[in-house]
Amino acid sequence: MATTNWLVSSPTPSVFLHPSVNPRLAFASIKNQTLVKTRVSFLGNAKRRLPAVLSMTATEEGAVKSVLPGNGISIMVNGCTGKMGKAVIKAADTAGVNIVPTSFGSASEAGQTVEVCGKEITVHGPTEREEVLSSVFQKHPELIVVDYTIPTAVNDNAELYSRVGVPFVMGTTGGDREKLYESVEKAKIYAVISPQMGKQVVAFLAAMEIMAEQFPGAFSGYSLEVMESHQASKLDASGTAKAVISCFQELGVSYDMDQIQLIRDPKQQVEMVGVPEEHVSGHAFYLYHLTSPDETVSFEFQHNVCGRSIYAEGTVDAVLFLAKKIRLKADQRIYNMIDVLREGNMR
C-alpha cells in the first residue's frame, strides 16, 4: 500500500535517519520495546458489534428524512477561529445545516467576530460559556455542538455540555478520554466521540481492529516503525496512530507509544515526508513499517490526507447521524464514527 512519498530523503542529513537502518526509511528503528498492554481502541468504550442490517421501519425512515439538512437541526461549532472549525462550518453550510452564530474560544479570543460563509459568528470566552450555551440551547432545542478546540479543553468542555444537557460531536483529540466517557455516561446525553472523523480512514481503522481481534499474535516478533506528520499547530500525538499501534500490539508487536516519530517541521515535511508545499499547513500523513525478526520480510501501511475536507464532511455526517438517534430516542447514547459508517445513510 505504500507509495514513494514517504521515502524521499532530504538532501541534507536528517535527525530522523538512523545510520544502521536502510536509508530509504526516514525514521529510526524501534526494536525490543516492552509491549504496552493498555489498548487504545478506536471504538472507545463501545462494544464491537457485527455490521447492522440496513433495513428500517417506517418510524426510522421518517427520522432519517427529518434530519436531512434544512429540517430543524442547528449546530454550534466551538473552535471556529481554527482552520478545522472553519472547514466544518463551510461543509455544514454547503449541506444546508443551520449554523448558530455563536462559538466558544479562549479568553484572548473573547469578543471577536469571525466571518465564515457570509455568517458572522461571535466568540465567547470561558467565563460566560454556561450562560451562553444554556441560552442558545433554549432558543435552538435541536442544537448539536461540534467541538474542534484544543486537547487541554476536552474534559472541561465535555463537562459543560453534560451539565447543560446538549448533545455534541467531539472531534478534538487528547484529554482524559476515560473521564470524557464517564462525564457523558453520567449525564445520559447523546454524543459522537471519535479521534478520527475521516470516513475512509475510519474504515481502515475498523479493518485493523477486526484483524487484531481475529488474528492475535500474527506479527509476533516483528519490529514496528511509525512516523506521523501533521501541521505544526497540532500539539499532541495522533489518536489515529495510537489506535493503529494498539492493533499492532494485539497482533504481537512490541512498541512504546512514546517512540512515535512526530514530524512538525515544515521543511522536513516537504523534503523528507513528501507533503505538497501547499498542504503543509493542513495534512495528516502516516506510515507504519513492520520488519520480521530476520529482516527478510517487511510490510508497510500508509494513509495520507491533504487538507481538511475529509474530516469536515465526516463531521457533518456525524451530526446528522446523532440527530436521527436523538429523534428516535435510541437507547444507546454514546457513538463513534464506526457507528456512523455502519448506519449507511451518509450523504
- Convert 210-229 into a string of H (helix), E (strand) and C (coil): HHHHHCCCCCCCCEEEEEEE
Q: What is the mean predicted confidence (pLDDT) over 217-229?
A: 97
Range 132-145 average pLDDT: 96
Write down the pLDDT at residue 160: 97
Of 101-105, 145-149, 232-236, the least confident: 232-236
Q: Look at residue 212 and tell me whether its pLDDT is greater than 50.
A: yes
- Higher per-residue confidence, 100 vs 3: 100
* pLDDT above 90 coverage of the chain, percent: 70
User: With bands split at pLDDT 50, 70 and 90, how would you rate the model's confidence at 61?
Assistant: low
Task: Please indicate, yes or no, whether the overall pTM of this predicted structure exceeds 0.95.
Answer: no
62 against 194, higher pLDDT:
194
pLDDT at 24: 32
SS (H, E, C) 124-150: ECHHHHHHHHHHHHHHCCCEEEEECCC
Instruction: Please tell me the least confidently modeled range out of 187-196, 202-211, 233-242, 315-324.
Output: 233-242
Mean pLDDT of 145-159: 95
Predicted pLDDT of residue 195: 80
pLDDT in tens, 256-295: 999 999 999 999 999 999 999 999 999 999 999 999 999 9
Complete domains list, the chain, with CATH: 74-197+309-343 (3.40.50.720), 199-307 (3.30.360.10)
- pLDDT score of 41: 57
For residues 72-76, average pLDDT: 91
Which residues are identified as catalytic?
A: 230, 234
pLDDT at 343: 86
CA-closest candidate to residue 45, choices 335, 245, 246, 341 = 335
| C-alpha cell at position 149 | 478546540
Dump the DSSP string for 60-117.
HHHHHHHTSTTSS-EEEEETTTSHHHHHHHHHHHHHT-EE-SEEE--GGGTT-EEEET
Section 241-261 average pLDDT? 95
pLDDT at 233: 85
Please provide the average confidence, as pLDDT, over all residues in the chain.
83
Mean pLDDT of 17-40: 38
pLDDT digit string (tens) for 283-340? 999 999 999 999 999 999 999 999 999 999 999 999 999 999 999 999 999 999 989 9
The residue that leads in pLDDT, 344 or 77, is 77
Cα–Cα distances (Å) from 133 to 98, 100, 116, in that order, read: 16, 11, 20
Instruction: Determine the Cα–Cα distance for residues 206 and 212; give it in Å rounded to an integer.
Output: 10
- Give pLDDT tens digits for 197-209: 999 999 999 999 9
Per-residue pLDDT band at 234 (split at 50, 70, 90)? confident
Whether pLDDT at 48 is above 50: no
Residue 193 has pLDDT above 90, yes or no: yes
